[in-house]
Homo-oligomer: A and B are copies of this chain.
Amino acid sequence: MTITTLGLDADDTLWHNETIFRLTHDRFAELLSEHHDREQIEARLEAVERRNLRLYGYGVKGFTLSMIETAMELTDGEVSPAVIREILAAGREMLGHPVEPLPGVRETLDRLSGRYRLVLITKGDLMDQERKLAASGLGELFSGVEIVSEKTPDTYASAFRRHGTGAHQAAMIGNSMKSDVLPAILAGAWGVHIPYHVTWSHEVADAPADEPRFAALDSISEVPPWVEARNRG
């Protein structure tokens, strides 16, 4: 079955994202360092984020609200206004940070876009993801863009139906085993994992090692020869 369509995750696949969240985590821990040690702060922030995920979804705005809520909890409700101001500023900076494609991304997508339909499939805040795609300069290489609230098998089935020739003729490429690879395979597509050097704890999952439609590549530059090899059978 020929692969006609490639789905690409955005954050940490096409450009840095988790590193920017990490920097903000560092800054946040620093702000509260007189109250608690780093580990406690991280653990509480993670618990608050997890609790809020159902309500806030993914993205910078929900993360900013979760930082404020965590700061309230960690100071027993006596948070200083300076901390709130710093958190708001950190959120705004995340929403405005420059977007630089990761090494090899532009060349690889240039090469792929002539032969395959490329579809960007990403979670996060609608406006923020659109801004990042525009700022990356990669927008015109995609024939479809799907910004979604969750990445489920249904998400991939409908994205590949809408923008391609169905999931069975598609491969999804991304850094998250849990969000990019596993649900895409369940939808009938190939799942291609390309690791990023840090992974958000909510996105960690095991590789489906025995799955024939799973592939693990070291970098995005390996995608073109990989697809060509698949399509030669």
Residues of chain A at the chain B interface (Cβ within 8 Å):
55-57, 61-62, 64-65, 68-69, 72, 75, 77-79, 81-82, 84-85, 88, 91-92, 95-96, 125-128, 130, 147-149, 162
Q: How far does the Cβ of A58 sit from chain B's closest Cβ, in whole Å?
A: 8
Q: How far does the Cβ of A25 sit from chain B's closest Cβ, in whole Å?
A: 18
A88 touches which of B72, B88, B126, B147 (Cβ 8 Å): B72
Q: How far is the CA of A55 from the CA of B162 in the complex (A)?
A: 29
User: Is A88 a contact of B61 with CB atoms below 8 Å?
Assistant: no
CB-CB under 8 A for A61 and B65, given A79-B81, A149-B126? yes
User: Is B88 a contact of A81 with CB atoms below 8 Å?
Assistant: no
Q: How far does the Cβ of A64 sit from chain B's closest Cβ, in whole Å?
A: 6
Q: How far does the Cβ of A195 sit from chain B's closest Cβ, in whole Å?
A: 27
For A148, the chain B residues whose CB sits under 8 A away are 126
Cross-chain pairs A/B with CB under 8 angstroms, 28 sampled = A55-B92, A55-B95, A55-B96, A55-B127, A56-B95, A56-B127, A57-B125, A57-B127, A57-B128, A61-B61, A61-B62, A61-B125, A64-B65, A65-B91, A68-B84, A68-B88, A69-B88, A72-B84, A75-B81, A77-B81, A79-B81, A79-B84, A125-B126, A126-B126, A126-B149, A127-B149, A130-B149, A162-B162
For A149, the chain B residues whose CB sits under 8 A away are 126-127, 130
CB-CB under 8 A for A85 and B81, given A57-B125, A65-B61, A147-B126? no
